[in-house]
Amino acid sequence: MEKPIYASLKSIGAYAPENIVTNYDLEKIVDTSDEWIVKRTGIKERRFAEANEATSDLATKAAKIALKRAKITPKEVDMVIVATISPDFFCMPSTACIVANKLGIVGKPAFDISAACSGFVYLLSLANAFILSKMYKNILIIGAEKISSILDMQDRNTCVLFGDGAGAALIGVTSERRKSIVDVQVSSNGEYQDFLITPGCGSRYPASQEVLEQRLQFLKMKGNETFKVAVKTLSSDVVEILEKNHLSIDDIDFFVPHQANQRIISAVGDALNIDSQKVVLTVQKYGNTSAASIPMAINEFYEEGRIKKGSKLLLDAFGGGLTWGSAILTFNGE
């Protein structure tokens, strides 16, 4: 009898640039304060990549760690997918192709997706589907961002929120259901596309002197509107995926939300009555790293020895698009 095929999170890896930017550093650039930032976001510091570091550089470093921990060589990787809203190049080549080249992965499919802060959950959905279809056995997924490259450092409402970093995971095959990705669900609603948007330099507003003067090449956000929709959506999404899989929050070892804002995370945790000890929180250290935030958070708790082989994780993300998604899976790394 043929063994069943399931997808499994085999390893995790992350990389954060060395350059730490504190709230006090930002006080010197824009009209803000450490007290204001911490009270509204919980963020105390974030990392900004150096001028000569691109998103692919961050992604490659995270990927190497994930591959080493999975005991997988680059030649054994069947596919590379990168989630990012800050790619090395606007149109082409994809950041995934660049990363694959840096890793020595040749002749395998590599492509990017754009789902903003929900990017890693979208990657899990894709990898899970490819493995369940038996097309591939080892898929390298990476959420990577150099958000500092699209931040308007004159806009105090956005420049204090984001940071740079990358998180990678190797999704492989298992025949044991208890070690697998239990479920992934992803959604979107373009009606709220202007809540989080980078307006300029696309086909809607092509690069021009006027676009640059209006600073449309930078990320824009409607903070209050985003906050309200995020809390409601994230909470309902968690309830839905748990009920769908006949699980309760007590069955979950760690809740790993997108690290956007500590107030959002706390509000969702309170709405779902989650034990605070189960909530993975790294926003205070790295800020919002968009598609990289969930794998970076998993990696942080893994390196601290808290997330271990067999830990059941509940992921929940919300981002520009608007996009959102959740996943239930068992961490199967060593």
Catalytic residues: 117, 258, 288
Say whether 298 sits in a helix, a strand or coil: helix
List, in order, residues 6 or more apart from 206 with CB less than 8 Å away. Answer: none
Q: Select from 63, 65, 140, 69 the least CA-distant residue to 102.
A: 63
Burial of 276 (0-12, 13-18, 19+ CB in 10 A): exposed
Bridge partners (DSSP) listed for residue 166: 15, 144
Q: Burial letters for 146-158: b for 16+ Cβ neighbours within 10 Å, e otherwise? A: bbbbbbbeebbeb
Q: Select from 67, 57, 223 the least CA-distant residue to 140.
A: 67
State how far Cα 203 lies from the chain centre.
26
Amino acid symbol at 71 = K
How far apart CA 324 and CA 241 sit, in angstroms, is: 12
How far apart CA 315 and CA 121 sit, in angstroms, is: 8
Helix residue ranges per DSSP H, the chain: 23-27, 34-41, 55-70, 95-103, 119-132, 156-159, 209-213, 223-244, 262-272, 283-286, 293-303
Reading the block at residue 32, the tokens are 């803000």
